[in-house]
Copies of this chain bind each other. A is one copy, B any other.
Amino acid sequence: MTPVITAYALSPDRGRGLARDMRVRWALEEAGLRYDVRPLSFDERHREARLAGNPFGQIPTYEEGDLVLFESGAIILHIAQQQTSQEHGLLPTEPKARARATAWMFAALNTVEPVILERQTARLLEGGESWAQQRLALIDERIRKRLAELARHLGDAEWLDGGFSAGDLLVVSVLRWLTASGSTLVDEQPNLAAYVARGEARPAFQRAFAAQLALYKASASPEGK
Protein backbone atom coordinates (compact mmCIF):
# COMPACT_ATOMS: atom_id res chain seq x y z
CA MET A 1 0.00 0.00 0.00
CA THR A 2 1.53 3.30 -1.11
CA PRO A 3 1.52 5.85 1.73
CA VAL A 4 0.33 9.40 1.10
CA ILE A 5 1.88 12.45 2.76
CA THR A 6 0.64 16.02 2.77
CA ALA A 7 2.91 18.95 1.90
CA TYR A 8 2.54 22.65 1.17
CA ALA A 9 1.94 23.29 -2.53
CA LEU A 10 3.69 26.65 -2.13
CA SER A 11 6.12 26.18 0.71
CA PRO A 12 7.21 29.46 2.31
CA ASP A 13 10.82 28.25 2.07
CA ARG A 14 10.54 28.50 -1.76
CA GLY A 15 11.83 25.02 -2.37
CA ARG A 16 14.80 25.02 -0.01
CA GLY A 17 13.57 21.83 1.58
CA LEU A 18 13.04 23.22 5.08
CA ALA A 19 9.36 22.30 5.46
CA ARG A 20 8.94 19.11 7.42
CA ASP A 21 7.65 17.02 4.52
CA MET A 22 11.30 17.04 3.34
CA ARG A 23 12.36 14.97 6.36
CA VAL A 24 9.69 12.37 5.72
CA ARG A 25 10.43 12.27 1.97
CA TRP A 26 14.09 11.70 2.79
CA ALA A 27 13.26 8.85 5.19
CA LEU A 28 10.97 7.21 2.62
CA GLU A 29 13.71 7.44 -0.01
CA GLU A 30 16.29 5.95 2.38
CA ALA A 31 13.85 3.13 3.08
CA GLY A 32 13.32 2.54 -0.61
CA LEU A 33 9.56 3.12 -0.35
CA ARG A 34 7.30 4.73 -2.95
CA TYR A 35 4.92 7.41 -1.75
CA ASP A 36 2.34 9.85 -3.04
CA VAL A 37 2.01 13.51 -2.09
CA ARG A 38 -1.22 15.45 -1.60
CA PRO A 39 -0.36 19.16 -1.86
CA LEU A 40 -2.33 21.52 0.36
CA SER A 41 -3.31 24.97 -0.90
CA PHE A 42 -1.41 27.59 1.03
CA ASP A 43 -4.46 29.64 2.06
CA GLU A 44 -6.36 26.64 3.35
CA ARG A 45 -3.38 24.67 4.62
CA HIS A 46 -4.21 24.77 8.34
CA ARG A 47 -7.79 23.69 7.86
CA GLU A 48 -6.79 21.03 5.34
CA ALA A 49 -4.01 19.68 7.55
CA ARG A 50 -6.44 19.41 10.46
CA LEU A 51 -8.89 17.55 8.23
CA ALA A 52 -6.03 15.27 7.19
CA GLY A 53 -5.42 14.34 10.82
CA ASN A 54 -3.04 16.86 12.39
CA PRO A 55 -4.74 18.59 15.35
CA PHE A 56 -2.21 21.44 15.08
CA GLY A 57 -2.89 22.08 11.39
CA GLN A 58 0.67 21.37 10.27
CA ILE A 59 2.21 19.33 7.46
CA PRO A 60 3.12 16.59 6.95
CA THR A 61 0.48 14.04 7.74
CA TYR A 62 0.98 10.43 6.72
CA GLU A 63 -1.73 8.04 5.59
CA GLU A 64 -1.16 4.33 5.15
CA GLY A 65 -4.52 2.63 4.72
CA ASP A 66 -6.51 3.51 7.82
CA LEU A 67 -3.46 4.57 9.83
CA VAL A 68 -3.15 8.34 10.00
CA LEU A 69 -0.08 9.82 11.67
CA PHE A 70 1.22 13.31 12.29
CA GLU A 71 4.54 14.67 13.64
CA SER A 72 7.43 14.09 11.26
CA GLY A 73 9.52 12.49 14.02
CA ALA A 74 6.82 9.90 14.70
CA ILE A 75 6.28 9.26 11.00
CA ILE A 76 10.00 8.66 10.47
CA LEU A 77 10.15 6.34 13.49
CA HIS A 78 7.19 4.42 12.06
CA ILE A 79 8.87 4.11 8.65
CA ALA A 80 12.13 3.03 10.29
CA GLN A 81 10.41 0.38 12.38
CA GLN A 82 8.79 -1.18 9.29
CA GLN A 83 12.18 -1.86 7.72
CA THR A 84 13.44 -5.38 8.28
CA SER A 85 16.47 -5.23 6.02
CA GLN A 86 19.67 -3.53 7.10
CA GLU A 87 20.20 -2.46 3.49
CA HIS A 88 17.52 0.20 3.71
CA GLY A 89 17.77 0.52 7.46
CA LEU A 90 17.10 3.82 9.20
CA LEU A 91 17.70 2.22 12.59
CA PRO A 92 20.18 -0.48 13.59
CA THR A 93 18.67 -3.90 14.24
CA GLU A 94 20.71 -4.51 17.42
CA PRO A 95 18.43 -3.34 20.26
CA LYS A 96 20.92 -1.17 22.18
CA ALA A 97 22.25 0.55 19.07
CA ARG A 98 18.63 1.04 18.00
CA ALA A 99 17.76 2.73 21.30
CA ARG A 100 20.79 5.01 20.99
CA ALA A 101 19.87 6.02 17.42
CA THR A 102 16.38 6.82 18.68
CA ALA A 103 17.94 9.02 21.36
CA TRP A 104 19.52 11.08 18.58
CA MET A 105 16.12 11.46 16.93
CA PHE A 106 14.78 12.98 20.14
CA ALA A 107 17.95 15.05 20.66
CA ALA A 108 17.51 16.56 17.20
CA LEU A 109 13.91 17.53 17.84
CA ASN A 110 13.88 18.40 21.54
CA THR A 111 17.42 19.64 22.27
CA VAL A 112 18.94 20.98 19.03
CA GLU A 113 15.92 22.23 17.07
CA PRO A 114 14.16 24.39 19.70
CA VAL A 115 17.06 26.81 20.14
CA ILE A 116 17.46 27.04 16.37
CA LEU A 117 13.74 27.62 15.87
CA GLU A 118 13.89 30.51 18.34
CA ARG A 119 16.12 32.13 15.76
CA GLN A 120 13.54 31.54 13.03
CA THR A 121 10.81 32.97 15.26
CA ALA A 122 12.97 36.00 16.08
CA ARG A 123 13.59 36.68 12.39
CA LEU A 124 10.20 35.86 10.91
CA LEU A 125 7.66 36.70 13.62
CA GLU A 126 9.54 39.40 15.53
CA GLY A 127 11.87 40.74 12.83
CA GLY A 128 10.18 44.14 12.94
CA GLU A 129 10.35 44.55 16.72
CA SER A 130 12.75 47.05 18.23
CA TRP A 131 14.62 44.32 20.09
CA ALA A 132 15.12 41.98 17.12
CA GLN A 133 18.83 42.54 16.44
CA GLN A 134 19.84 42.61 20.07
CA ARG A 135 17.96 39.41 20.75
CA LEU A 136 19.37 37.58 17.74
CA ALA A 137 22.84 38.02 19.22
CA LEU A 138 21.70 36.34 22.46
CA ILE A 139 20.08 33.48 20.56
CA ASP A 140 23.16 32.94 18.39
CA GLU A 141 25.26 32.52 21.54
CA ARG A 142 22.89 29.81 22.76
CA ILE A 143 23.04 28.08 19.38
CA ARG A 144 26.86 28.27 19.37
CA LYS A 145 27.00 26.53 22.73
CA ARG A 146 24.76 23.70 21.56
CA LEU A 147 26.60 23.27 18.25
CA ALA A 148 29.93 23.15 20.06
CA GLU A 149 28.61 20.29 22.22
CA LEU A 150 27.36 18.48 19.13
CA ALA A 151 30.67 19.02 17.30
CA ARG A 152 32.61 17.75 20.29
CA HIS A 153 30.54 14.57 20.33
CA LEU A 154 30.83 14.02 16.56
CA GLY A 155 34.60 14.54 16.49
CA ASP A 156 36.10 12.84 13.47
CA ALA A 157 33.27 10.35 13.07
CA GLU A 158 31.18 10.14 9.92
CA TRP A 159 27.85 9.84 11.75
CA LEU A 160 26.75 10.36 15.34
CA ASP A 161 26.66 6.72 16.51
CA GLY A 162 27.98 4.14 14.05
CA GLY A 163 26.25 3.98 10.68
CA PHE A 164 23.85 6.55 9.24
CA SER A 165 20.51 6.45 11.08
CA ALA A 166 17.22 8.30 11.41
CA GLY A 167 18.99 10.21 14.19
CA ASP A 168 21.49 11.62 11.70
CA LEU A 169 18.68 12.30 9.23
CA LEU A 170 16.95 14.50 11.80
CA VAL A 171 20.07 16.21 13.16
CA VAL A 172 21.17 17.11 9.61
CA SER A 173 17.63 18.32 8.82
CA VAL A 174 17.61 20.53 11.88
CA LEU A 175 21.04 22.01 11.12
CA ARG A 176 19.79 22.87 7.62
CA TRP A 177 17.56 25.57 9.21
CA LEU A 178 20.87 27.40 9.62
CA THR A 179 22.89 26.40 6.55
CA ALA A 180 20.00 26.88 4.11
CA SER A 181 19.05 30.28 5.45
CA GLY A 182 22.44 31.96 5.10
CA SER A 183 23.63 31.60 8.70
CA THR A 184 27.31 30.73 9.14
CA LEU A 185 26.87 29.29 12.65
CA VAL A 186 27.32 25.71 11.45
CA ASP A 187 30.42 26.68 9.43
CA GLU A 188 32.09 27.76 12.66
CA GLN A 189 32.35 24.03 13.41
CA PRO A 190 34.01 22.55 10.32
CA ASN A 191 33.25 18.95 11.26
CA LEU A 192 29.54 19.80 11.56
CA ALA A 193 29.53 21.58 8.20
CA ALA A 194 31.10 18.49 6.61
CA TYR A 195 28.54 16.31 8.39
CA VAL A 196 25.64 18.29 6.93
CA ALA A 197 27.26 18.09 3.48
CA ARG A 198 27.60 14.30 3.84
CA GLY A 199 23.92 14.06 4.63
CA GLU A 200 22.92 16.23 1.70
CA ALA A 201 25.13 14.19 -0.65
CA ARG A 202 23.20 10.99 -0.01
CA PRO A 203 21.24 9.88 -3.08
CA ALA A 204 18.07 9.55 -0.98
CA PHE A 205 18.40 13.17 0.17
CA GLN A 206 18.96 14.31 -3.42
CA ARG A 207 15.85 12.52 -4.68
CA ALA A 208 13.71 13.91 -1.86
CA PHE A 209 15.05 17.41 -2.36
CA ALA A 210 14.38 17.32 -6.11
CA ALA A 211 10.82 16.11 -5.55
CA GLN A 212 9.89 18.88 -3.11
CA LEU A 213 11.53 21.50 -5.34
CA ALA A 214 9.58 20.23 -8.36
CA LEU A 215 6.32 20.59 -6.44
CA TYR A 216 7.19 24.14 -5.45
CA LYS A 217 8.11 25.11 -9.02
CA ALA A 218 4.97 23.54 -10.47
CA SER A 219 2.81 25.33 -7.90
CA ALA A 220 4.57 28.67 -8.36
CA SER A 221 4.38 28.74 -12.17
CA PRO A 222 1.24 30.28 -13.71
CA GLU A 223 0.43 26.99 -15.43
CA GLY A 224 1.14 25.04 -12.25
CA LYS A 225 -1.59 22.97 -10.73
Give the interface of A toward B (CB within 8 A). Answer: 55-58, 66-75, 77-78, 96, 99-100, 102-103, 105-107, 109-111, 113-114, 117-118, 121, 125-126, 129-131, 134-135, 138, 146, 149-150, 152-153
Quick one: which of B69, B126, B130 contacts A103, CB cutoff 8 A?
B69
Contacts A69-B103, A74-B105, A106-B109 given; 20 further ones with Cβ under 8 A?
A55-B150, A56-B107, A69-B100, A70-B103, A71-B106, A71-B107, A71-B110, A73-B106, A74-B102, A74-B106, A77-B106, A78-B99, A109-B110, A110-B110, A113-B114, A114-B114, A118-B121, A129-B134, A131-B131, A131-B135
Contacts of A118 in B (CB 8 A): 118, 121
Residue of B nearest to A70 (CB): B103
Q: Is the interface of A mostly helix, strand, loop or mixed?
A: helix
Query: A-B pairs with the 4 shortest C-beta distances?
Result: A55-B153, A131-B131, A74-B103, A71-B106
Contacts of A126 in B (CB 8 A): 135, 138
Contacts of A58 in B (CB 8 A): 111
Contacts of A150 in B (CB 8 A): 55-56
Contacts of A75 in B (CB 8 A): 103
Q: Are B149 and A55 in contact (CB under 8 A)?
A: yes
Contacts of A99 in B (CB 8 A): 67, 69, 74, 78
Q: Tell me which of A102, A105, A110, A118 has the highest count of chain B C-beta atoms within 10 A of its own C-beta.
A: A110
A132 to B: closest C-beta gap in Å: 9
Residue of B nearest to A101 (CB): B74
Quick one: which of B66, B96, B109 contacts A96, CB cutoff 8 A?
B66
